[in-house]
Amino acid sequence: MRKSVLAALAIAIAAPGLALAQAKEQFVPANFYWVGPYAPGGSGFGGGIIDYMAMINERDGGVNGVKLTWEKCETEYNNARGVECYERSKGKGPTGATVVHPLSTGITYSLIDKATADHIPVISMGYGRTSAADGRVFPYIFPLITTYWSQATVMVKYMGQKSGGMDKLKGKKIVLVYHDSAYGKEPIPVLTEMSKEYGYQLTTIAVPHPGNEQQSQWLQVRQIKPDYVILWGWGVMNPTALKAAAKIGYPRDKIIGVWWSGAEEDVLPAGSAATGFISAGFNAPGTEFPVMKDIQKYVYAKGKGEFEDKSRFGSIYHTRGVVAGIVTVEAIRLAQAKYGKGKPITGEQMRWGIEHLNIDDKRLKELGATGLMPTIKVSCNDHEGSGLVKFQQWDGAKWKVLTDWMEPDRKLVRSMVEADASQYAKEKGITPRNCSKDE
């Protein structure tokens, strides 16, 4: 309260300086979801990114003195509401929305055209349109760190490793249990393509949204007796699947989940049925990373922070949000270095920043995020930037990391990305950028 009185006084006295004072802000919309069936994901991820930005403001006074600001908008994981939030937020702050994290594959799809026309970058970290990784066709869309297709190839690799070599996959039976939506269908082309190479038998079983009824699907699994099950679930579908698997006695450590199946919220409701379940991930949970300690010290210790339930601090969704915050702030920092330190940047400048993002091991150490996220190097051509995936296992109380960062099958993924992107470009009449010339 006293602060706002002081601020009001300051404004009254220095009215001519108002524009200047306002200009030292960088606006990042917080369009997430806090209600509905997917609220655990939305509030966790949103909490992470906001906590990280709050920490940067408290610890460093913003990015080179430019304070980060944000405003929440409830999207309900609904495309129409997501577009409304985007339109509402895009003009705010001195330079408009810097970057948008839609946190929904559907909303990302809806924003591709709009954001490209408005010159506002969209970061769809671990979701969204996979072929947007081709930066020549999608200049403003960044499916950063890793995409569904990369993940699918790493999953096959991991199954090969578990079986004792890729050649051992021949004749093995793999079942994909997926959420029947654009999101769930995403891995099918890649898994089919790889089955030709490695000779495994792929069966796909769809689970209708929202997935709280899966008996018949798992009876089918029991008939097939697969060597591995890939679980491509979201929200309530995950614990239901694990419970159903326990009922038919399918070993949980043969079920490999996508990263949207691998959070505490996905396994806790299944109770002991979840023990042994393995999932992929592009971020690690935990409270011991230096960056998480900083958030604790500068935000939560001062009675702020997004979570009232402190046990969610350091959960998978929370640290995933922190990773999103790191990527966002690092790109802002980079763009400032080029376009003027201590000045708010525009969406176009932010695009340059994200496209030149290069977080190596050294930088990760400085950020206090070693092990929290993989290294990442984005380019005009490659808007994914990393593709690395880790595997983790639920031991009944917490997620234990099983592997180091694993490489995807870049050649396969890239060729499919380019094929899909060029079809999109043809449909929409887009001429791909020439990346060898582009700055």
* Contact mark string toward other proteins, 207..226, x via CB under 8 A: --x-----------------
One-letter amino acid at 392 equals: Q
Return all residues near 259 (Cβ < 8 A) that are at least 6 apart.
126, 151, 279, 280, 281, 282, 389
What 3-state class would DSSP assign to 275? coil
Kindly report the length of the chain.
Answer: 439
Torsional sign, CA 206, 212, 216, 222: positive
Q: State the minimum distance, in angstroms, from the CB of residue 87 to other proteins.
A: 4
Helical (H) or strand (E) element with 427 = helix 410-428
* Contact mark string toward other proteins, 167..206, x via CB under 8 A: -------------xxxx-xx-xx-----------------
- Closest CB to other proteins among 104 and 336? 104
- Closest CB to other proteins among 81 and 356? 81
- From 25, 34, 222, 405, residue interacting with other proteins (rule: CB under 8 A): 34
Q: Where does 225-304 have alpha helices with state H?
A: 237-248, 264-267, 290-298
Q: How many residues bind other proteins (CB under 8 A)?
A: 49
Q: State the minimum distance, in angstroms, from the CB of residue 128 to other proteins.
A: 10
Q: Does 377 bind other proteins (CB under 8 A)?
A: no
What 3-state class would DSSP assign to 132? helix
- Closest CB to other proteins among 34 and 339? 34
- Closest CB to other proteins among 72 and 363? 72
* Contact mark string toward other proteins, 126..145, x via CB under 8 A: ---x----------------
Q: State the minimum distance, in angstroms, from the CB of residue 65 to other proteins.
A: 24
- Closest CB to other proteins among 71 and 418? 71
Q: State the minimum distance, in angstroms, from the CB of residue 126 to other proteins.
A: 15
The torsion of the CA quartet 251, 254, 255, 257, rounded to 10 degrees, works out to 150
- Closest CB to other proteins among 105 and 393? 105
Torsional sign, CA 218, 220, 221, 225: positive
Question: Helix 79-89 and helix 105-118: axis angle, to 10°?
Answer: 30
Q: State the minimum distance, in angstroms, from the CB of residue 177 to other proteins.
A: 16
Q: Does 1 bind other proteins (CB under 8 A)?
A: yes
| Site stretch for other proteins (CB under 8 A), options 9-17, 34-42, 259-267, 390-398 | 34-42
- Closest CB to other proteins among 162 and 320? 320
DSSP state of 431: P
| Site stretch for other proteins (CB under 8 A), options 18-26, 75-83, 168-176, 262-270 | 75-83
Q: In the chain, what is the straight-line distance between the N-terminal and C-terminal CA atoms, in Å? A: 47
CB 173 within 8 A of CB 392: no
Residue 402, by phi and psi: left (phi above 0), alpha (psi -120 to 50) or beta?
alpha
Half-sphere exposure of 35 (CA within 13 A, CB side): 7
- Chain contacts with other proteins (rule: CB under 8 A): 1, 4, 30, 32-35, 39, 43, 46, 71-74, 76, 79-81, 83-84, 86-88, 90-91, 105-106, 109-110, 112-114, 117, 129, 180-183, 185-186, 188-189, 209, 308, 420, 424, 427-429
